[in-house]
Amino acid sequence: MRVFKYPIPNDGYPAKISAPGAYKILHAGPDPTGQVCVWAAVMPDRPQMADNFARVLVAGTGHDIGEPFRAEHHIGSYVDGPFVWHVFAFIRNPNDRVGV
């Protein structure tokens, strides 16, 4: 197992991330350069299924997160100056993720 970093945009639109094998999202927030990222535990030796991906959305406090995102998809929040951002991930194929 390895931990991979996936940069994601903070533009109000869901980003698609796809790992090389089974994965579990561990954390979301800015890296040392300020780029918003998602870190995931990845098992690259497991086969990757075509529909095994996550849609990740960064939304500000008070913003509508829309469908298919729900509160249980929250993976982290972070502060950037006067703003608090919330990161949600909708897992397309949750049965093939790395176990907890």
Q: Which domain range does residue 52 map to?
A: 2-96
Is 13 exposed, middle or buried, given 0-12, 13-18 or 19+ CB atoms closer than 10 A?
exposed
Ramachandran sector of residue 12 (left: φ over 0; alpha: ψ -120 to 50; beta: rest): left
In the chain, how many domains are there?
Answer: 1
DSSP single-letter state for residue 8? -
What is the tens place of the pLDDT at every residue in 30-66?
999 999 999 988 887 766 665 567 788 898 998 888 7
Helix (H, G, I), strand (E, B) or coil at 66: coil
pTM (2 d.p.): 0.77
Q: What is the pLDDT of residue 49?
A: 60
In whole angstroms, give the CA distance from residue 39 to residue 6: 6
